[in-house]
Amino acid sequence: MVYRRTHQVVKRLAARRSAILAAARDAAAEGGMAAVQIAPVAIRANVAAGTVYRYFPSKADLISELIADVSRDELAAIRRAADAAPGPSSALAAAVTTVAVHVLSQRKLAWGILAEPVDVDVTASRLVNRREIAGEIASRIDAAVRAGHLPAQDTALAATALLGALHESLVGPLAPDNSDDSGKLRDAVQTVTLLALRAVGVMDARARGLVVQAVLPAKALVGA
Amino acid sequence: MVYRRTHQVVKRLAARRSAILAAARDAAAEGGMAAVQIAPVAIRANVAAGTVYRYFPSKADLISELIADVSRDELAAIRRAADAAPGPSSALAAAVTTVAVHVLSQRKLAWGILAEPVDVDVTASRLVNRREIAGEIASRIDAAVRAGHLPAQDTALAATALLGALHESLVGPLAPDNSDDSGKLRDAVQTVTLLALRAVGVMDARARGLVVQAVLPAKALVGA
DNA sequence: TGAAGAACTGAACAACTATTCAGGGCTGAT
DNA sequence: ATCAGCCCTGAATAGTTGTTCAGTTCTTCA
């Protein structure tokens, strides 16, 4: 053999792969999953359509990896916010607020990742994504229960319900479009976080305090 | 003119239209929206594919009407259950329970109506559906607030969040499949109703009582 | 520099279904 | 019985995109 993958080539290939994924992500952020079509993504990434298939076996694989990527980021953000909180209840509040802020700051992307119809089957990837996020929330609820701050409950179901409430009210089709008014955005985050905390059994007064504490550090993110 | 639509013909046409809609509904109940394709629906309704287009201008119209139909039924059920309750809080609990029971007893259909990807655009119809149901829930929350049973709040947002929680935890991709165990089904309905009531501010102890009252009459429906 | 092999291109292909429409059959008035 | 007009049929059409692949370009090493 007179050809060998040199380090430089390996790096270029990896860069191209990332460029394609980034192009897909940009497209999704701008126009939702509907905009993630092979030809347009290829153009964005400065490659030909066929090249995409040298990196991803199919569109389903491309989108699945996109979903996994975005989920990884979100999960990390949730953990960071929760771990920085002083106690289990604050951690739960911080986690919920983080989810709310994230989906609001990238509504189209979030909708695409979560629920937007796609022509190929990405249910498996979406399932993994939801499971991870829900699992994280569930374990935070669990910690608060063990600390005696919340009544015992089916934490997995509660976590799923919480996420459903957040998503539906913030990026679902009925969600009001407040994307230009950052004050209303904060209000929405607060209101929904309050609902979520009360749902799992935080007493009203205490919940209000937790919400205020959790929303303050998240303010900066709203602009992102 | 030597031909005129006689009463008999009018009736037959109406029956055929209903048959097509019913076929679409059956298909959706069995295999979700993916199974609602013109040719198979036509076969189910004992007509040719072309005939469907004599009754519905396009697939989008057919599915939109299907969504409207199902929504009408659900809304009626919610109102019936809520109106039969002794007070505003019970009415809210009954409404929430009714939604839960309905989606659980027809999971595939509910998923199709609510969120399953469809190749044609039915967002408008889905939006109307959600708005109607959410509006009903919102007005029940409002009644409870006015009666002094709940704290003042953004009822529209709360209603949307409640529905999101119900749907996600009962028919979403993470929902456990308990379709064979009616005991678990009841548990799920109870748990989720409890979460929903607490979310809008019903005190825990009181919420538990309301849930029990609301679930009892709904039991019969679970089998449907 | 040349040869071998890999990567890239982009036009052609494939598959899936909604939609159409020319022809056949049915209904109702005379 | 007859015919005008509507209804129904279902094979053919059409439009949309994901996917392929033969040919071209680029990279590596002797």
Backbone angles phi, psi at A37, to 5 degrees: -115, 150
Q: Which chain A residues contact residue B167 at CB under 8 A?
A: 164, 168
Confidence of residue A223 (pLDDT cuts 50, 70, 90): very low
* CB-based contact B161 A160, cutoff 8 Å: no
Nearest CA in chain A to B130: A174
Task: With beta carbons less than 8 A apart as the criterion, state whether A68 and A128 touch.
Answer: yes
What percentage of chain A has pLDDT greater than the value 90? Answer: 74
- Tell me the C-alpha distance between A158 and A160, whole Å: 5
Confidence check: pLDDT of A216 > 70: no
Give CA separation, A221 vs A97, A102, A104, A182, A189, in Å. Answer: 11, 8, 10, 11, 12
Judging contacts by C-beta atoms under 8 Å, the chain A residues touching residue B175 are 160
Contact B99, B71 (CB under 8 A): no
| CA B5 to C1' D30, whole Å | 89
Q: Which amino acid is at B137?
A: I
CB atoms within 10 A of CB B176: 14
For A46, phi and psi rounded to 5 degrees?
60, 45
| A8: nearest nucleotide, CA–C1' criterion | D27
Instruction: Identify the CA nearest to A157 among candidates B188, B104, B94, B203.
Output: B188
B99 near B133, Cβ under 8 Å?
Answer: yes
Asked if strand C comes closer than 7 Å to B4 Cβ, the answer is yes
Residue A181 phi/psi, 5° resolution? -110, 100
Q: Which of residues 173-212 of A touch B (CB under 8 A)?
A: 173-175, 188, 191-192, 195-196, 198-201, 204
| Torsion-angle region of A3 (φ positive above 0: left; ψ -120 to 50: alpha; else: beta) | beta
Report the C-alpha gap between B36 and B65 in whole angstroms.
Answer: 13
Q: Is the pLDDT at A47 greater than 60, yes or no? A: yes
Reported as a single tens digit per residue, the pLDDT across A134-185 is 999 999 999 999 999 999 999 999 999 999 999 999 998 888 887 778 888 8
Of A6-10, A219-223, B112-116, B209-213, the range with the highest mean pLDDT is: B112-116
Q: Tell if the pTM clears 0.85, that is, is over it.
A: yes
Distance (Å) from the alpha carbon of A194 to chain B's nearest alpha carbon: 8
| Chain centre distance of CA B150 | 26
Q: Quote the tokens at residue A169.
A: 């009210």
Residue B38 tokens read as 């013109």
Partner A, chain B 138-167, Cβ-Cβ below 8 Å: 151, 153-154, 157-158, 160-167
* Contact flag B130-A173 (C-beta cutoff 8 Å): yes
pLDDT score recorded for residue A209: 79
Q: Is B223 on the interface with A (CB under 8 A)?
A: no
The mean of the pLDDT values for chain A is 91
Whether A127 contacts B173, CB under 8 Å: yes
Calpha distance A192→B221 (Å, rounded): 31
Write down the pLDDT at residue A221: 53
**What token pair was written down for A165?**
């409430």
Q: Which residues of A184-214 are buried (b: 16+ CB within 10 A; e: fewer)?
A: ebbebbbbbbbbbbbbbbbeeeebbebbebb
Tell me which residue of B46, B44, B28 sits closest to B36, measured CA to CA. B28
- Predicted local distance difference test score (pLDDT) of residue A132: 97
Which pLDDT value is given to residue A205?
Answer: 66
**Could you tell me the distance in Å between the CA of residue B46 and the C1' of nucleotide C29?**
29
DSSP-derived 3-state class of residue B163: helix
| Segment A70-83 mean pLDDT | 97
State the pLDDT at residue B224. 43
Query: CA-CA distances (angstroms) from residue B86 to A6, B11, B42, B89?
Result: 77, 42, 46, 8
**Which residues, 6+ apart, have CB-to-CB distance to B221 below 8 Å?**
B98, B101, B102, B105
Residues 6 or more apart whose CB falls under 8 angstroms from that of B96 comprise B137, B162, B166, B192, B193, B196, B197, B214
**C1 C1' to A51 CA distance, Å:** 30
Residues of chain B with pLDDT under 50: 223-224
Choosing among B198, B202, B211, which should be mutated to test the A contact, i.e. which has the most A CBs within 10 A? Answer: B198
The answer to whether B73 and B110 have CB atoms below 8 angstroms apart is no
Which element (helix H / strand E) includes A189?
A: helix A182-199
For residue A219, the model assigns a pLDDT of 56
CB atoms < 10 A from the CB of A153, how many? 17
CA distance B3 to B10: 13
> Can you spell out the DSSP letters for A76-107?
HHHHHHHHTSSSHHHHHHHHHHHHHHHHHHTH
